[in-house]
Structure 1
Amino acid sequence: MHIPEYSQIVSPLYLFTRKKKNFHWGPEQQQAFVQIKQEIAHAVALGPVRTGPDVKNVLYSAAGNNGLSWSLWQKGPGETRGRPLGFWSRSYRGSEANYTPTEKESWPPMKEFKPPQK
């Protein structure tokens, strides 16, 4: 199951889990709660990985104010739409929030995907 931009949607809820934060449920938290409930109801099912010379894999990345996300899609011969293989997202850590938009967009492909160990 996948929820697009999960980390960005729920960030108002996670902000209160940090130390030295007083809990206050305001309009921003209510909006995040309502939106994540709706997203859960319409989540996307992931497809199996296929291999072959005609199979194309595409990696998409997105960076917002609160975090970054990326997804891997696969399109086989004769398919007009790609199928999702996986989705990932996370909040920024430490100084990552200060990176330029270009650095934020390129972060997932460069740092989050590791080559297979031999």
Structure 2
Amino acid sequence: MLELQYELESKAAKWYATIDSANAFFSIPLAAECRPQFAFTWKGVQYTWNRLPQGWKHSPTICHGLIQTALEKGGAPEHLQYIDVIIVWGNTAKEVFKKGKKVIKVLLKGGFAVKRGYSQIVKPLYKVTRKKNEFMWGPEQQEAFFEMKQEIVHAVVLGPVRSGQDIKNVQYAADGDNGPTWSLWQKAPGETQGLTLGFWS
């Protein structure tokens, strides 16, 4: 994750866009012979997943690999990928829009859906975090902050939230021309990298 952040920071672009595949794990069908290992019982009835479940430890790796393959085969423009999120950049909004449109076409062709308006959640926070703007926290910012926290709680697919005195929560933040970016990590003693809980822009 840090390598991805450093690589993104090395791109001296003026414009960035994120494309988030909607429910990417559920876009990936499980082979019939694999389904029994995902069986579970609920209220006395046995069920099984027929799509890649979100809570399985290998789901992020499988999802990342399949999206990466789709992007490579589809001839996607230069981008960075983190599981089901793709970042494109450029020096003009038009350039970034064109690249984003191409990535979306490739994803749709590969059987994935796209979340529209994904970065709109934190848009009200951009107003108060830009260098030239006065910091005035209002109801709109509070609501966006609350919604962002809810998204963080529900988006944990890379590692469970851990608690305890020896667990350290680490947040990395950067302020760009187009708004803030941040990532949240948890580290336990002896871990060099820790577990990623998520990243946002």
TM-score (normalised: structure 1): 0.42
Larger Rg: 2
TM-score of the two chains, using structure 2 as the length reference: 0.27
